[in-house]
Amino acid sequence: VSDKGDGTYVGTFVAPAAGRYWLKVYYGNVLLQGMPVSVLSRTSFDTCPNGCSDRGECKDNVCSCYSGYMGADCSIETANCADNCMGNGACMNNTCYCYPGFSGPSCEESTTVCPNDCSKHGACHNAACICDSGYTGVDCSDNLATCVDGCMGNGECVDGSCLCYPGYKGVNCAEKTKFCPKACSGKGTCTRGGMCSCFSGWTGLDCAI
């Protein structure tokens, strides 16, 4: 080691192999101030951002980060995020930054938009509403408790009234009925199965064609 006379020193260190070393430098028998220093020995002269922040290896000018770190320069800690962000976000400096569509401390909650925000009567999960007890419908807007007999399971409760499925009628959709569109338009007969049997020369679900 040579003293440049301005408080700096110049010298050569030959490492036996690539890796990190703690180097102590003596001037005579005196250990120089600031020793030991960390020295990273590489087998190539690739250039990586911030020297990979001493948290990775520089290979072909790209940082290969040690476990627990990420980023172009390996400066972002990833080791201590709850549930590893459930795979729904990125762990940076021990905090989950959720991808679009997710929220929560560990990105465990889906925030994908559901119809009508589930009418505040359900939870949105993977863009589908899981309705609270007593509610139904794609947006959880149908409250079975407000419809007579809950529509008997033969219809949808909409704004307090039963909207019966085809083949049922009545206030509570309890009464079975033949389902023939437009009564077969007067150009056919309604079969027991609820389908139109059209007269000769007519066709279509309602025999209107």
The pLDDT tens digits for 96-147 are: 888 777 788 888 887 667 877 788 888 887 778 888 887 878 888 777 667 8
pLDDT tops 70 at residue 85: yes
pLDDT for the residue 199 = 92
Distance between CA 199 and CA 179 in Å, rounded?
17
Task: Place 92 in a pLDDT band, splitting at 50, 70 and 90.
Answer: confident
pLDDT for the residue 153 = 79
The string over 135-173, giving b where at least 16 C-beta atoms fall within 10 Å of a residue's C-beta and e elsewhere, is: bbbebbbbbbeebbebbbebbbbeeeebebeeebbbebb
pLDDT for the residue 187 = 92
pLDDT for the residue 1 = 59
pLDDT tops 80 at residue 206: yes
Give CA separation, 155 vs 64, 109, 126, 141, 151, in Å: 60, 32, 26, 14, 5
Percent of the chain with pLDDT over 90: 2
Q: With a threshold of 0.85, does the pTM exceed it?
A: no
Span 1-49, pLDDT tens digits: 566 777 666 667 677 776 777 777 777 777 777 677 777 666 656 688 8
Span 142-175, pLDDT tens digits: 776 678 787 887 887 777 788 887 777 888 888 8
pLDDT for the residue 71 = 79
